[in-house]
Amino acid sequence: MGLDNYTKVIYGWKITNDKKIHKIESELEEVCENVYHDDMYNIVDDFIIQDTMCGEYFYFGALLGSMDVYDCERGANNEIIITTELVDKVTSAYNQMLKDYPEVGEIFKKYSKNKKPQLYVMQNIW
């Protein structure tokens, strides 16, 4: 069994508190299943990054890029170019998701309260 190893770029928020991570995951799962009758990942997969192995982090926001580290080792494209157009496109998609799923938006709003979004470049290994 190998590990998946991605470099990801996201403009949004990060949660590192174990209790808050568990709480946001539970709230999202409950809302997606009970309100939208769908799996959480079908609704917000493009807008979250989770530590599925250890549960040490949870990011949410506009995902600007994702790059498979192993593909880069094999000679594939090894860069993510962030343009104004890309930022506008993914931010628009994030905002549209919040409008389409207002209950999800309320959960995200609760966990981003009083914090400004930041640009994160991180390794997501699972």
44-58: b or e for each residue (b if 16 or more CB lie within 10 Å)? beebbbbbeeeeebb
Q: Which residues pair with 7 in a beta bridge?
A: 67, 123
pLDDT band with cut points at 50, 70 and 90 for residue 114: confident
Total domains present in the chain: 1
Query: What's the mean pLDDT in 12-19?
Result: 93
pLDDT band with cut points at 50, 70 and 90 for residue 73: low
Residue 107: both structure tokens together: 């959960």
Q: Does the pLDDT value for residue 47 go beyond 70?
A: yes
Residue the block writes with tokens 């946001």: 24
Q: Does the pLDDT value for residue 86 go beyond 90?
A: yes
Phi, psi of 9 (to 5 degrees): -125, 125
The answer to whether 97 and 44 have CB atoms below 8 angstroms apart is: yes
Q: What per-residue confidence (pLDDT) applies to 57?
A: 92
- Rounded to the nearest integer, the mean pLDDT of the chain is 88
Q: Measured between alpha carbons, how far is residue 19 from residues 6, 50, 57, 91, 116 in Å?
A: 25, 14, 11, 28, 21
Query: What's the mean pLDDT in 87-114?
Result: 95
Domain range for 100 is: 5-125
Q: Does the pLDDT value for residue 85 go beyond 90?
A: yes
